[in-house]
Every structure is written in C-alpha cells, then in structure tokens.
Amino acid sequence: MKALKRRTGQVLFALAVLALLIYTIFPFYIAILTSLQGGEGSFYLLQDFDFSNYVSVFREQPFFLNILNSALVSFGTVAISLLIAVTASYALARVHFRGRTTLLLTVLGVSMFPQVAVLSGMFELVRLLGLYNNLGSLVLSYTVFSLPFSVWILTTFMRGIPKDLEEAAIVDGATPWQIITRIFMPVLWPALVTTGLLAFIGAWNEFMFAITFILSNEQRTVPVAISMISGGSQYEMPWGPIMAASVIVTVPLILLVLVFQRKIVEGLTAGAVKG
C-alpha cells in the first residue's frame, strides 16, 4: 500500500515535470522546426532538414551586417554601463555624502518608467545630439535603461565587501581607481557578469528604440531586421525565414549564458564576499 502510494507520487511528479518542460520548450521547438522546413510540412513533426530559410535570411537582407550592428550596440552598452555602474556604485556604497539614499532611490524610481513614456523625450535627445539613424543612439538609450538596475545590484554587492578590505588597500597605497580595478572588480566578478549579461540581453533583444531611432537597413539591429522580413505578398507571413533568423540570433545568447552560467548563479545567490 505504501509502495503504491509512493509510486503514484512519483508518476504524478514526473507528469508535472513533463508538463512544465513542454510548456517552456514548445515555442522554441516550433521555432526551430519551422525554420528547418522548406515548404508546407507538418506543423508538429520534423520531416526534412532544409536550410534554405537560413540561406534566404542572409540573401534577402544585409542580415550579417544587422548581427554585427546588434553585437556592436550590445557590447558597447555593456561596456559603458558597467564602467559607469561600477564607479557610481563605488560612490553610492562607499563614499558618504549628503543625499546618498535619495539618489539611490531616484535611480530606482527612474527605472520604473516604461519605455514608451521616455520615447519622445529620448527621440529629442537623440536628434539634439545628432545621433539619429546612428548606432550611438541605441547605445545611449540602452545604457540609460540598463544603468539603474546595474547600479542598484552592484551597490548592494559593493556594500557586502568588508570595509577592512578597502582599508587594507588604502594602507597599501592604492588610489580609489586602483581599489576599484585591482580589488573590487575581481571580487565583484560574478556580480559584474550577471549585470553585464542582463544588460547584454536587454540590448540584444530591444525593439522599440531600435525601430524608432534607426532608419536605414544597413544600420538596423537584429530584432528590427527580423520584423522587416517580408513574404511574397502583403498577406503572407514568411514564418520560415523569420524563425531561421530568430534561431540564429538566439544562439549567441544561449552560448553566453552557458559559458557564464556558473558565474550567474554565483552572482544571483552569493550575497556577501567572504575573505
């Protein structure tokens, strides 16, 4: 009786896991499936390996250039926002000044605004700086949006670093910049990877700013380029090439996450830094 009970439990658990797996993986399965099917095939089962969609993605538009643009914008965003976030969080976590908490709360408050709310203002800013139809406009706006989160996370981590560590470095004769680069950044490595990766994903997948600030095909980033893929007629949605393109741009992300997986977990779970 007891064994039966345990058995039923195991079966139910397995079913629940299965349901969850199907639920999460099914959209990706369909995407990959669709991208590999040339003509009209079964919607649910893979019948042939046909890479024509992949070829067409690169033939029909400057997709390689779009990927390059996306990479440029994303890496640029990560580099700039990490640099600013690290220095800002050092000040916010370590330097005592009036209005520190207010500033930190303002930073958090700013990140509450939806993208649409700042779109027109951001557009004016971009025009003013002469960055319209330039990748710089995207780096600027993505940095603005990734900074609050990065600053907030890094400040929390920076606070977790023992004060003694910093003072030991001061006694050793290190300048604030040396303390940040030689002591704090190596110690904060997991947190940096986590925030950097999140900023990267945000920039890589962003759509609204990208379609607003960029005009020409050659300057477009991947999400916009995918949305521009058109079929034979107005009424035809070219699912095959769209899915192929989506799979192509998701691969780098998955690779990045796999490479840094352990660091991300450490970064998300480890609160303080132990000596």
Positions that interact with other proteins (CB under 8 A): 162, 164-165, 167-174, 178, 182-183, 186-187, 189, 273-275
Tokens found for residue 123: 């557009």
Distance CA 177, CA 169 (A): 11
Q: Which amino acid is at 82?
A: L
Nearest distance in Å: CB 176, other proteins = 12
CB of 95 to other proteins, least distance (A): 14
Question: What is the distance between the alpha carbons of residues 232 and 244, in angstroms, rounded to a whole number?
Answer: 17
Tell me the two tokens of residue 230: 């058109």
CB atoms within 10 A of CB 165: 15
Minimum CB distance to other proteins smaller for 191 or for 249 = 191
CB of 195 to other proteins, least distance (A): 18
Are the C-beta atoms of 231 and 237 separated by less than 8 Å? yes
Minimum distance from CB of 136 to other proteins (Å)? 35
- Please tell me the number of Cα atoms within 13 Å of 28 on its side-chain side: 11
- Cβ distance to other proteins smaller for residue 116 or 171: 171
Closest to other proteins by CB, 148 vs 267, is 267
> How many CA within 13 A on the CB side of residue 266?
13
65 vs 273, which CB is nearer to other proteins? 273
17 three-state secondary structure: helix
CB of 182 to other proteins, least distance (A): 8
Closest contact distance (angstroms) between CB of 80 and other proteins is: 25
Comparing CB distances to other proteins, the nearer of 186 and 232 is: 186
Cα separation of 263 and 267, whole Å? 6
Residue with smaller CB distance to other proteins, 172 or 218: 172
Q: Which two tokens stand for residue 153?
A: 């996370």
Q: How far is the CB of 177 from other proteins (least distance, A)?
A: 11
* Closer residue to other proteins, CB minimum distance, 131 or 273: 273
Contact 10, 218 (CB under 8 A): no
Sign of CA dihedral 12, 14, 20, 26: negative
